[in-house]
């Protein structure tokens, strides 16, 4: 295998709606000047990310995004759904989609199907096969899971909480219908899990806005066989790529602790990790048969440090980039 280094990233665009269209309500729309400012910022941010493959969320105006990306060298672009317009107002969007852009050929583009007939995705995930310069076929998923309702009770977990503990606490809220958004997210994450589980022979990346926090049970539903009562395998189908990269501190203080993980979104002034890059075992640092390794993991959050709430003319999410180094 020839040596090649690629960067993959995830980018929630925050209402990417080309005027004169609006989103959700008639008054929420950009004027020409605002749209120019927003798209200029997005272009500059994509140049900073310096990726070959990017997954996007909150895509309403897919054609406008495709044209913007072509100017930046992304000759391959795909969606598996179309943002829907209101029946009563043909200039108002009522749903959104995800999209994928690549500088390398997308040889196959599919939608991920629900694992159960009784539910549908809030945003249909993308499953794309991308042919890298070293002839590796990389499977790339893009998703944007169900948003949490502002008034919905949420359990916060940490790295020491067991899966059994998480399940026990969450099951009560689910049974009493106190967490309908979480229930939807778990269905969505489970469908992705089963689809990815069928592809374990293929190197896989998931680019996502999970709308759930680090150590959440949603991540277990997405990656952990044990969550799905499968005790035959202790391996995870996906791994949070941030843990595969050890950031080196420059001129560290003798008592300096490990770098704190950067938030990718804020709510009521509190930072949360909602945006992730997940990778399959093909890239795990402890896998002796790995085909590549994570050589960088970066969060582009400068705009959020200036304003935690973000801006409609920028984004309310940070962008996440993971570098994978394939060695011959």
**141-145, 152-156, 248-252: lowest mean pLDDT where?**
248-252
- pLDDT band per the 50, 70, 90 thresholds, residue 3: confident
- pLDDT band per the 50, 70, 90 thresholds, residue 2: low
CB hemisphere CA count around 80 (13 angstroms): 19
The residue-averaged pLDDT of 118-137 equals 96
pLDDT at 280 over 60: yes
- pTM reported for the whole predicted model: 0.94
CA dihedral of residues 69, 74, 80, 85 (deg, nearest 10) = 10
Whole-angstrom CA distances from 311 to 34, 47, 65, 110, 147 are: 11, 19, 19, 32, 18
Q: How far apart are CA 226 and CA 232, in angstroms?
A: 9
pLDDT at 259 over 80: no
pLDDT at 234 over 90: no
- Nearest CA to 98 out of 116, 89, 110 is that of 110
> Can you give the C-alpha Rg of the chain in angstroms?
19
The residue-averaged pLDDT of 247-261 equals 59
Counting residues of the chain whose pLDDT is more than 90, the rounded percentage is: 80
Q: How far apart are CA 60 and CA 30, in angstroms?
A: 13
Q: What are phi and psi for residue 247, nearest 5 degrees?
A: -70, 135
Domain 4-326: give its CATH code: 3.60.10.10
Strand (E) positions, 17-136?
Answer: 22-23, 53-59, 76-78, 92-93, 97-102, 106-111, 126-131
- pLDDT band per the 50, 70, 90 thresholds, residue 210: very high
Average pLDDT in the chain = 92
- Nearest CA to 319 out of 12, 8, 7, 57 is that of 12
Q: Which residue has the higher pLDDT, 203 or 251?
A: 203
pLDDT at 150 over 80: no
Strand (E) positions, 60-164?
Answer: 76-78, 92-93, 97-102, 106-111, 126-131, 137-144
Tell me the three state secondary structure of residue 5: strand
Annotated domain spans of the chain: 4-326
pLDDT of residue 231: 77
The 10 Å CB-count burial string (b at 16+, else e) for 210-249 is bbbbbbbbbbbbbbbbbbeeeeeeeebbbbbbbebbeeee
- Nearest CA to 11 out of 301, 306, 246, 323 is that of 301
Strand (E) positions, the chain?
Answer: 4-16, 22-23, 53-59, 76-78, 92-93, 97-102, 106-111, 126-131, 137-144, 204-209, 239-240, 265-267, 270-272, 275-279, 292-300, 319-326
pLDDT of residue 248: 57
pLDDT of residue 49: 98
Q: How far apart are CA 54 and CA 49, in angstroms?
A: 9
- pLDDT band per the 50, 70, 90 thresholds, residue 260: confident
Counting residues of the chain whose pLDDT is more than 70, the rounded percentage is: 94
**74-78, 111-115, 191-195, 247-251: lowest mean pLDDT where?**
247-251
Q: What is the pLDDT of residues 20-76, one digit of tens each?
A: 999 999 999 999 999 999 999 999 999 999 999 999 999 999 999 999 999 999 999
Q: Could you tell me if 44 and 131 are in contact, meaning their C-beta atoms sit under 8 angstroms apart?
A: no
Q: How far apart are CA 45 and CA 39, in angstroms?
A: 10
pLDDT of residue 105: 98
Q: How far apart are CA 206 and CA 176, in angstroms?
A: 32
């Amino acid at each position: 295998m020839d040596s090649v280094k690629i960067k993959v990233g995830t980018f929630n665009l925050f209402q990417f709606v080309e005027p004169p269209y609006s989103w959700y309500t008639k008054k929420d729309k950009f004027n020409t000047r605002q749209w120019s400012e927003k798209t200029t910022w997005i272009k500059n941010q994509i140049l900073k990310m310096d990726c070959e493959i990017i997954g996007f969320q909150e895509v309403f105006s897919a054609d406008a995004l495709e044209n913007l990306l072509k100017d930046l060298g992304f000759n391959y672009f795909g969606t598996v759904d179309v943002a829907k317009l209101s029946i009563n107002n043909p200039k108002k969007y009522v749903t959104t989609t995800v999209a994928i852009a690549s500088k390398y050929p997308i040889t196959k583009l599919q939608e991920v199907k629900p694992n159960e007939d009784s539910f549908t995705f809030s945003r249909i995930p993308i499953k794309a096969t991308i042919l890298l310069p070293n002839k590796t076929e990389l499977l790339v998923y893009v998703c944007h899971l169900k948003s949490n309702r502002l008034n919905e009770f949420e359990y916060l977990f940490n790295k020491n909480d067991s899966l059994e503990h998480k399940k026990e606490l969450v099951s009560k809220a689910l049974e009493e219908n106190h967490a309908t958004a979480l229930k939807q997210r778990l269905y969505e994450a489970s469908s992705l899990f089963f689809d990815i589980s069928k592809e374990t022979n293929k190197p896989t990346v998931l680019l996502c806005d999970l709308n759930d926090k680090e150590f959440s049970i949603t991540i277990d539903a997405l990656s952990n066989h044990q969550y799905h009562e499968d005790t035959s395998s202790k391996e995870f189908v996906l791994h949070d790529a941030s843990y595969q990269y050890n950031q080196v501190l420059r001129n560290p203080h003798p008592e300096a602790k490990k770098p704190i993980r950067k938030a990718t979104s804020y709510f009521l002034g509190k930072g949360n990790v909602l945006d992730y890059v997940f990778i399959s075992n093909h890239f795990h640092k402890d896998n002796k048969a790995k085909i590549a390794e994570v050589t960088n993991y970066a969060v582009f959050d400068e705009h959020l440090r200036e304003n935690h709430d973000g801006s409609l003319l920028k984004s309310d999410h940070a962008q996440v980039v993971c570098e994978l180094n394939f060695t011959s």
